[in-house]
Structure 1
Amino acid sequence: MAPKQQRGEATVDLLLDTALRVYAASGRQGFTVNAVTAASGVSFGSLYHHFGSFDGLAAALYIRCQDQLCDPVVAAVTRSRTARTGVQAFVKAYLDFTREHRDVATFVHASAYSRYLTAHAKEVAAAKEAKFAAIASWMYARVAAGEVAVLPDQMIEVLLVGPVAETAHRWLAGTYEGDLDEAIRVLPDRIWRSLRAD
């Protein structure tokens, strides 16, 4: 790799790392282009050169954080032999990641309806689809095998991801009264009942 390209990649990583730290320390209100450039020492011009806009930086950070969350979840699910153990693996991997990587999980969950995701909707959707393709393929095989109910794709996604993501969101916000270990014990069977073939 050429030195100029190495410097460019190092700058991108520095900006993304700094943006996450700024968000973790200051929340949505303090997550500004001025805060990120001041904390990173990178100029406005360099930020705009690499990301096009502050929304572009935020969307790139969201995709990076989403990837970090999805990688262990996808690995856990696709190693599972049955639909039931896959659901258990999904819940555990997702909530374990949330507990162990709070800053990353907070940014993913807090970004759901943010302007920067709207501005980069196609890019974000493509990245998400690429990550979840392995889980979708794994799930289709379980539907074909008669383990999982024949349901529309989006309904399967809502039934699998919805309860886990909402639990993580509330825990991160401090509004979840239970603990994550309890959720890991209870959710898999409840979600499995909603997905299993009758």
Structure 2
Amino acid sequence: MSPRQRRGEQTRERLLAAALDLYAEKGADGFTMTAVTATSGVSVGSLYHHFGSFDGLAAALYARCLSDLLDAVIAALDAVPQGREGGPRDGTEARAAAGVRAVVTGYLGFTREHTAAARFVHASAYADFLAAHEDLIAEEKEPRLAGILGWLRPYIRAGLVVGLPDELIEMLVVGPVAETARRWLAGAPGIDLDEASRLLPERIWRSLRAAEAPMAR
């Protein structure tokens, strides 16, 4: 990387860091181009050079935060102990169950530990700026999501996890966790992440477990 490229990357990082800090501190109302450039010390012209627009900056920040969230989930999956593929059914199912539980706890753990990033992801999920930058979002999201779903696919083929379209598998695994995180981030009463981390993994696994499979012990 040339010195010029390095400086450009550093400028991008300063803008993204300032944007996330501002959103965490002041919320959507304080998340403005004027505030970001003032906080970062980067000019408006430089912001436009690197991101095309303030919406482009917001989309890049969303992509970054979402990638970090999904990477945390993937890391939790990678930490699941290896089992013997093709081994005893109970052992293989136990690993499938452990993977589903890892997705849930990894997602909720990221939400607790990186609250600002999680809040930006959930608050921006239906923001207008995403539609104009859907290619950028897909570039970060799709391979990571495919990796998570791909982890489960052998267990679907083995008849241990219910065979549904990927989109519905995603809803069963991620949907309840994302909604729990969204409500916790919004300060909804009655939502406790520790309790959710304790209770949701088993319930979500049961929703994915093939009906004819024996319960894992």
- TM-score for both structures, normalised by structure 2: 0.88
2:157 aligned residue: 144
1:165 aligned residue: 178
Paired amino acid for 1:37: T
Answer yes or no: is the 8 Å Cα contact 1:167–1:176 preserved in 2.
no
Residue 78 of structure 1, CA deviation: 3.6
Unaligned runs of 5+ in 1: none
1:81-92 map, 5 Å: 81=82, 82-92=95-105
Q: Do structure 1's residue 6 and structure 2's residue 19 form an aligned pair?
A: no
Q: Do structure 1's residue 193 and structure 2's residue 167 form an aligned pair?
A: no
For residue 113 of structure 1, give the secondary structure of its aligned residue in structure 2. coil
Paired amino acid for 1:85: A
Unaligned runs of 5+ in 2: 83-94, 212-217
Q: Distance in 2 between matches of 1:65 and 1:55?
A: 15
Answer yes or no: is the 8 Å Cα contact 1:20–1:104 preserved in 2.
yes
Answer yes or no: is the 8 Å Cα contact 2:115–2:185 preserved in 1.
yes
Farther-moved stretch of structure 1 (45-54 vs 64-73): 64-73
Q: Do structure 1's residue 96 and structure 2's residue 106 form an aligned pair?
A: no
Q: Distance in 2 between matches of 1:31 and 1:23?
A: 5
1:36 aligned residue: 36
1:115 aligned residue: 128
1:55-70 map, 5 Å: 55-70=55-70
Residue 149 of structure 1, CA deviation: 0.5
The runs of 4+ residues in structure 1 deviating greater than 6 Å are none
Answer yes or no: is the 8 Å Cα contact 1:159–1:191 preserved in 2.
yes
Q: Distance in 2 between matches of 1:146 and 1:76?
A: 23
Q: Distance in 2 between matches of 1:130 and 1:151?
A: 19
Higher share of residues assigned helix? 1
Number of aligned positions between the proteins: 198
Residue 122 of structure 1, CA deviation: 2.2
For residue 180 of structure 2, give the secondary structure of its aligned residue in structure 1. helix
Q: Distance in 2 between matches of 1:79 and 1:102?
A: 22
Post-superposition Cα deviations, 1:77-109, rounded to whole Å, max 9, x if no partner, equal: 244352210111111111111111110111111
1:17 aligned residue: 17
What is the aligned-residue identity percentage?
59
Q: Do structure 1's residue 179 and structure 2's residue 192 form an aligned pair?
A: yes
- TM-score for both structures, normalised by structure 1: 0.96
